[in-house]
Copies of this chain bind each other. A is one copy, B any other.
Protein backbone atom coordinates (compact mmCIF):
# COMPACT_ATOMS: atom_id res chain seq x y z
CA UNK A 1 0.00 0.00 0.00
CA UNK A 2 1.09 3.57 -0.51
CA UNK A 3 2.24 5.64 2.44
CA UNK A 4 -0.62 6.56 4.73
CA UNK A 5 -2.22 9.98 4.54
CA UNK A 6 -0.16 12.57 6.33
CA UNK A 7 -1.40 13.31 9.82
CA UNK A 8 -2.09 16.78 11.13
CA UNK A 9 1.26 16.61 12.82
CA UNK A 10 3.05 15.83 9.58
CA UNK A 11 1.24 18.62 7.82
CA UNK A 12 1.91 21.04 10.62
CA UNK A 13 5.62 20.42 10.60
CA UNK A 14 5.72 20.71 6.83
CA UNK A 15 3.85 23.96 7.17
CA UNK A 16 6.56 25.37 9.38
CA UNK A 17 9.46 24.20 7.25
CA UNK A 18 7.92 25.46 4.06
CA UNK A 19 6.97 28.73 5.65
CA UNK A 20 10.58 29.20 6.67
CA UNK A 21 11.71 28.43 3.16
CA UNK A 22 9.23 30.88 1.68
CA UNK A 23 10.28 33.66 3.99
CA UNK A 24 13.88 33.24 3.05
CA UNK A 25 13.13 32.98 -0.63
CA UNK A 26 11.15 36.20 -0.46
CA UNK A 27 13.81 37.95 1.55
CA UNK A 28 16.38 37.04 -1.05
CA UNK A 29 14.53 38.02 -4.12
CA UNK A 30 12.13 40.73 -3.06
CA UNK A 31 13.39 41.98 0.27
CA UNK A 32 11.27 41.64 3.37
CA UNK A 33 12.53 43.96 6.07
CA UNK A 34 11.40 43.15 9.57
CA UNK A 35 9.73 46.53 9.84
CA UNK A 36 7.12 45.56 7.29
CA UNK A 37 5.50 43.27 9.78
CA UNK A 38 5.15 46.16 12.19
CA UNK A 39 3.75 48.51 9.61
CA UNK A 40 1.36 45.82 8.56
CA UNK A 41 0.19 45.42 12.14
CA UNK A 42 -0.38 49.13 12.57
CA UNK A 43 -2.32 49.22 9.35
CA UNK A 44 -4.51 46.40 10.53
CA UNK A 45 -5.01 47.36 14.17
CA UNK A 46 -4.37 51.08 14.35
CA UNK A 47 -1.99 52.75 16.79
CA UNK A 48 -0.57 50.55 19.51
CA UNK A 49 2.03 50.57 22.27
CA UNK A 50 5.41 48.91 21.90
CA UNK A 51 4.59 45.99 24.14
CA UNK A 52 1.28 45.42 22.42
CA UNK A 53 3.05 45.42 19.07
CA UNK A 54 5.59 42.93 20.34
CA UNK A 55 2.84 40.62 21.49
CA UNK A 56 0.98 40.93 18.22
CA UNK A 57 4.11 40.26 16.20
CA UNK A 58 5.22 37.49 18.48
CA UNK A 59 8.59 38.98 19.15
CA UNK A 60 10.31 40.17 22.31
CA UNK A 61 9.73 43.67 23.58
CA UNK A 62 13.34 44.79 23.05
CA UNK A 63 13.17 43.59 19.47
CA UNK A 64 10.06 45.63 18.91
CA UNK A 65 11.64 48.65 20.55
CA UNK A 66 14.50 48.49 18.09
CA UNK A 67 12.20 47.96 15.13
CA UNK A 68 10.07 50.93 16.08
CA UNK A 69 13.15 53.10 16.43
CA UNK A 70 14.22 52.22 12.91
CA UNK A 71 10.79 52.91 11.56
CA UNK A 72 10.66 56.27 13.29
CA UNK A 73 13.99 57.20 11.74
CA UNK A 74 12.67 56.34 8.33
CA UNK A 75 9.57 58.36 8.94
CA UNK A 76 7.18 55.45 8.53
CA UNK A 77 5.74 55.61 12.03
CA UNK A 78 5.55 58.11 14.86
CA UNK A 79 6.11 57.36 18.50
CA UNK A 80 4.40 59.66 20.99
CA UNK A 81 4.09 59.35 24.74
CA UNK A 82 0.82 57.85 25.82
CA UNK A 83 -1.19 60.64 27.43
CA UNK A 84 -2.97 58.19 29.71
CA UNK A 85 0.15 56.43 30.92
CA UNK A 86 3.50 58.16 31.02
CA UNK A 87 5.33 54.86 30.87
CA UNK A 88 3.83 53.92 27.58
CA UNK A 89 4.11 55.05 24.00
CA UNK A 90 1.71 55.22 21.13
CA UNK A 91 3.11 54.10 17.81
CA UNK A 92 1.15 55.22 14.78
CA UNK A 93 1.52 54.76 11.06
CA UNK A 94 2.40 57.84 9.01
CA UNK A 95 1.27 58.52 5.46
CA UNK A 96 4.74 57.64 4.27
CA UNK A 97 4.52 54.38 6.16
CA UNK A 98 1.20 53.59 4.57
CA UNK A 99 2.65 54.33 1.16
CA UNK A 100 5.61 52.09 1.80
CA UNK A 101 3.32 49.31 2.90
CA UNK A 102 1.36 49.68 -0.31
CA UNK A 103 4.52 49.48 -2.38
CA UNK A 104 5.80 46.36 -0.66
CA UNK A 105 2.40 44.73 -0.75
CA UNK A 106 2.19 45.31 -4.45
CA UNK A 107 5.67 43.98 -5.10
CA UNK A 108 5.02 40.82 -3.12
CA UNK A 109 1.53 40.49 -4.42
CA UNK A 110 2.54 40.65 -8.04
CA UNK A 111 5.32 38.13 -7.70
CA UNK A 112 3.57 35.60 -5.51
CA UNK A 113 0.23 35.93 -7.19
CA UNK A 114 1.92 35.23 -10.50
CA UNK A 115 3.36 32.01 -9.14
CA UNK A 116 0.01 30.95 -7.79
CA UNK A 117 -1.75 31.86 -11.00
CA UNK A 118 0.84 29.82 -12.85
CA UNK A 119 -0.01 26.81 -10.79
CA UNK A 120 -3.04 25.11 -12.28
CA UNK A 121 -4.00 23.40 -9.06
CA UNK A 122 -4.00 26.51 -6.88
CA UNK A 123 -6.97 28.83 -6.68
CA UNK A 124 -7.52 32.17 -5.03
CA UNK A 125 -9.59 30.35 -2.51
CA UNK A 126 -6.69 28.09 -1.67
CA UNK A 127 -4.55 31.14 -1.12
CA UNK A 128 -7.18 32.59 1.18
CA UNK A 129 -7.31 29.31 3.06
CA UNK A 130 -3.56 29.31 3.51
CA UNK A 131 -3.65 32.80 4.95
CA UNK A 132 -6.52 31.83 7.23
CA UNK A 133 -4.57 28.85 8.52
CA UNK A 134 -1.52 30.96 9.29
CA UNK A 135 -3.65 33.59 10.92
CA UNK A 136 -5.51 31.01 12.95
CA UNK A 137 -2.35 29.38 14.20
CA UNK A 138 -0.86 32.72 15.11
CA UNK A 139 -3.78 34.23 16.94
CA UNK A 140 -3.76 31.44 19.49
CA UNK A 141 -2.25 32.30 22.80
CA UNK A 142 -2.35 35.87 21.72
CA UNK A 143 -5.59 37.23 23.14
CA UNK A 144 -5.65 40.80 21.92
Contact = CB atoms under 8 A, between A and B. Distances in A.
A10 B138 contact: no
A113 B136 CA distance: 11
24 contacts: A6-B128, A7-B109, A9-B109, A11-B113, A11-B127, A11-B131, A12-B109, A13-B105, A13-B108, A15-B130, A16-B23, A17-B37, A18-B138, A21-B134, A24-B59, A115-B137, A116-B136, A116-B137, A119-B140, A121-B132, A122-B133, A122-B136, A129-B133, A130-B130
A96 interface: no
B105 A119 contact: no
A27 to B, nearest CB: 9
Interface majority SS on A: helix, strand, loop or mixed?
helix
Interface size class of A (residues with CB under 8 A): 35 or more
Given A8-B117, A8-B124, A10-B109, 11 more contacts: A8-B127, A11-B131, A12-B113, A17-B37, A19-B19, A23-B23, A24-B58, A28-B58, A115-B137, A122-B132, A122-B136
